[in-house]
Structure 1
Amino acid sequence: MTKIALFCAAGMSTSMLVSKMRKAAEVKGIEVEIDAHPESQMAKHLDGLNVALLGPQVGYILPKAKKVCDEKGVPVAVIPTVDYGMMNGEKVLAFALKLAGK
C-alpha cells in the first residue's frame, strides 16, 4: 500500500484530483491511499507517508516543505501545472509512484 498526500492552500482544490487519482489506481489495480490536506497541516500528516505532493498554487513553499519532509524521509515535489490543470489523475498518480520509488 502506497500512501500519498496532496497539499494545497485549503485542501479543497486537490480533492477532485484525489478522486481521479484513486480511480486511475483502481483501474490499474494499484493499492494506494490518497488524501488531500491544507499545506499548513503538512507536518501533522507525514507519518507513514510514502510521498507528498504540492499543488502548483503552493509550489513556493517547496523549500520549507522539503525541510519538513526530509526529517521524516518523505519525498516531496510540486505537481506539474499542466497535469494539475487538466486534473489528469493518471499522470499525477504515475508521478507520485515514481517519486516514491514504486
Structure 2
Amino acid sequence: MNNLVRSVRATGGIGVVGEFKPEDPKLSYEMVQKGHLAFDWGLFLSKGQRIGTGQPNVKAYNRRLCKLIAASKAKPSFLVTQELPLRDAPDAYRHFDARENGWVKVLLKPAA
C-alpha cells in the first residue's frame, strides 16, 4: 500500500479489490497475523489521495466464467500485457498512469 501511495499522483485514486482475511496466524509478521497494515498515513493525506475498497462478487460469475474458460470460449490471459516482480510496482504504475502504449493489465508477482 505504501508503494501505491508513493507511485500514485497527488489527488489520485487507489483501488483495492480482493479477498481479505481479518486474521491469519500462519503469516510471519505479528502485525499481519492480526490483519493490520503499516501505512504511511501522513504521505497519503499530504498527497490528497483517496482509496476505494471492496471484495469482488465472485459467486455471481465464477461458475459461468470457469465453464467458458474450460470450453476455450474465453481466454482471460489476453488482457495481461506485463508480468513483473512486485519490486517493479512503482515503475509499472508510472507507465500505466501515463497511458503508455502496451500497458493495459500488469500482473505483479510477490515472489518473483
TMscore range, shorter length = under 0.3
- TM-score normalised by the chain length of structure 2: 0.26
- TM-score normalised according to structure 1 size: 0.27
Q: Give the number of the structure whose alpha-carbon radius of gyration is greater.
A: 2
Whichever structure has more strand as a proportion of its residues is 1
Q: Relative contact order: is structure 1 or structure 2 higher (C-alpha 8 Å, sep ≥ 6)?
A: 1
